[in-house]
Each structure stands twice: as C-alpha cells, then as structure tokens.
Amino acid sequence: MSGPTAVASVLARISQIQGQIGAGDAGTAASSSGLDITAGSFASVLADTSAGGTVTSEQGTSTWDIPWAPGAQPAAPSAPAVPATRSTTRSLAASGVTSPVARSSGSLVWPLHGTITQGFGPTTCTLEPAATVNGKSYAHYHDGLDIAAPQGTQVRSMEAGTVEYAGRYPDGAVVVRVRQTDGSVALYAHLQPGVLVHTGDTVKAGEALGRVGMTGHTTGPHLHVELTVHGKNVDPLAALRSGQVPGTSRTSSSSGTTASSSSWTPASPLAGADAELTQAALDRFDAVAAKIPYHAEIRDAAVRAGIDPLFLASLVKAESGFRPDAVSSAGAQGMCQLMPATARSLGVTDPFDPVQNLRAGARYIANNLRIYGRADLALAAYHDGKGAVARAGGVPDYPITHRYIDRICSYWTHYREAAA
C-alpha cells in the first residue's frame, strides 16, 4: 500500500483507534498510559485500510484485567471492568483496567500496569516472524506478551529468582532475564538502558528490575514479556491470570531462594537477531576490523555466505579464539571448529587452512540461519546438531548450549556497540 490516499487512510484509521481507546479523555486509563501505536495495532491498521475496511468496536477496544504493580497507586477506571473471555492470539489495542490487587489468584506478580497491545500466539501482525509450533506452521507468531506503558514505568519481577542476564541483546533491546524459583525463565525486554539489577543478583517477587523504554526493534514504549518452560515458550497472560506457570512445580517460597542448577531453563528467542548481510553490517565490521584477527578472511567468508561478518567473527571467537590450529577434545578442527565429517561434506581438504575453514563454517551457519530464521536456533544447531533442535522443538535445554549462545551474542553485541 502506498501513495497519499493510502497514507491518509492509515492516519484516519489510527485517529479512529485513538478515539475508541479514549485518547481524547485525559482521565481514562487508556489515555494516561501513554499508549503508542505498536507493531500489532499498526499492522491491523494497514491490513484493514488496504482492504477498505473500518474499525469495529470489537477490534478497537477490549477490556483486560491488568492489576497494578506493587506500590503503584491506581487511578479510578473510566468504566466498570469487564473480564475478557477470549485469548490474545492476534494484535489488539486493548484498554487497561485498574485493580488494587497486586498479584494474580496464585503467586505471580503483574510486572506493570498498562495496555495489552499484542498477545501470545499466531498473529496478523506482519512484523512478527514465521514459526512452527507443535508441528503447525504460522506465517506470523508472537512468542510473548506486549504491554504498552509510558516510558519510565517501573517493571517488576513476576516471581523470585536469579538474574541470568541483564544487558543489551544483539538487536539493541535492553533485556533482563530471570530464572524463577519454579525453574521457568521470565524475560523482560525493550527496557531503558541502566537496568536496576545485574547478572547473578537474587530478586524477590515484585522487585523492580528496570523501566519501560524503546530499545531494540519497537514501534512504541512497551514491555515485551516472555515465559519459557523446558525450552518452550508459554503464554504469559494465561500464567499471570492463573498465578502459576504451567508445567512447573515450585521448588521454594517466593522469598528469593533460587532453584537448583538442574532446573536451569533456556535463553529467550530474542537472542535471534538479524544476522543477514547488509551494507550497514559491512560498515560496522569495517569500523572495527582492525581489532579482529583474520578480519579480511572473515569478511570474505561472510560476504560469500551472505551473513553479517561480525556474527561470523563472534562465532569464531567463541569456537576457537581465532586459532587456525585449534582442536577440541571431541575432534573439531580449525577456526570454526568443524568436525572432520562435516568439513569433508563442505569440500574442505585442509581444515587448518583459515580460508577453507572460515568459508565452510560460514556456509554451514548461513544454511542454519536460512532453515531456522533465528540466530539462537541456528547456533544451537551448529553446537548440538539439527537433530537435537528438532527433538527439543527449539533450543535444547542444556546449560552449556545456552552459555554458548549467550557468549556469542555477547561478543556480537560488543562488536556492534564498538562500531557505533
């Protein structure tokens, strides 16, 4: 859709949505939330205006039970609360409902008060990636819950646990990831820089982690929340409503005691940032190339394979420390640590030749990226094999695998920040 007529149609549609959610009434919860048009609702605008449609009441507004976080002072709702009875499996511009209750019926704490703009599951939002879940393929799938709120709104931990990660992901999003006492992992994304916790910290349910920001790929200020159980994402909204993460058993009270290391669960799929070759990616690499060993060979291999050279450099740094003669205890060889059979299948005659090894390793990870569409799954398959990823239905639930992915993503982030 393009042209002045289309733009006018979109703007008119947005104005209509804003009117329906109370954008003109400063006393309503919707207007006081500082809601921006997010990816989901804007995609719905594009879809409906291109088809000549209009906003219906059911599309434009929906009421959800979103309690205030501990310590917050709720404003009086503009209308009586009407509990929602349908799932958020598509993009919604939903009006927030205030409640003095800090917790759900169980033990989980709502991370903030705001407006649900994107639910968990299949969606019409074209900005969300394709996914295959339980053997079924979806053109667009949202693996978390989006709650819009003004920038600076405090974000709280849903449950007690240990901070596994606090920092910036390769896509630029500032993220806090907490391993909860029940063994699940909660992820809070698009936070402002300068989060309030550090990796390794113990947090209590309701403890402040950071503030709503606009970091990473986001169309407005909101919190993206994910819950991961045994390597698979589950619906955060359903868990918050019930107060219990499905498929888990609590190992301790919410006093801050953490679960044992055996309940460690995977990193978030947000680790899957864009690793495609672009001019911007080349410019970033060239800006820091002087600090990267074998930078000319790495750049050449990445360009041939069509991937971000900094992503390849990060993989090589983690695999071999840029040593062409590296050999692992399992027999993996060279800069990209190729197993002999894999190297032969990729046409490598000398695995210790940097050029051959880098070009083969780049082709291998590039193929994984094309298959999975996400860097974290591509790296998991590189590390554990495609069979392990298929059996797990995602990133295998092995601590060593997630440390491997996090290490590469950390290198990648540092390179990108150094090039900025």
Query: Residue 27 contacts by C-beta under 8 Å, 6 or more apart in sequence?
Result: 75, 78
| Cα–Cα distance for residue pair 351/343, rounded to 1 Å | 7
With cut-offs at 50, 70 and 90, classify the pLDDT of residue 80: very low
With cut-offs at 50, 70 and 90, classify the pLDDT of residue 164: confident
Does 49 score more than 70 pLDDT?
A: no
Least confident of 147-151, 250-254, 256-260, 377-381: 256-260
Q: What is the pLDDT of residue 139?
A: 87
319 assigned to active site: yes
CATH code for the structural domain at 279-419: 1.10.530.10
> What is the CATH architecture of 4-266?
Distorted Sandwich (2.70)
Does 4 score more than 90 pLDDT?
A: no
Q: What is the pLDDT of residue 106?
A: 54
Interval 389-415: pLDDT, tens: 888 888 888 889 988 988 898 898 889
pTM of the model: 0.49
Domain ranges of the chain: 4-266, 279-419
Which of 128, 164, 319, 417 does the annotation list as catalytic? 319
Interval 225-260: pLDDT, tens: 999 887 788 899 999 988 888 876 544 333 333 333
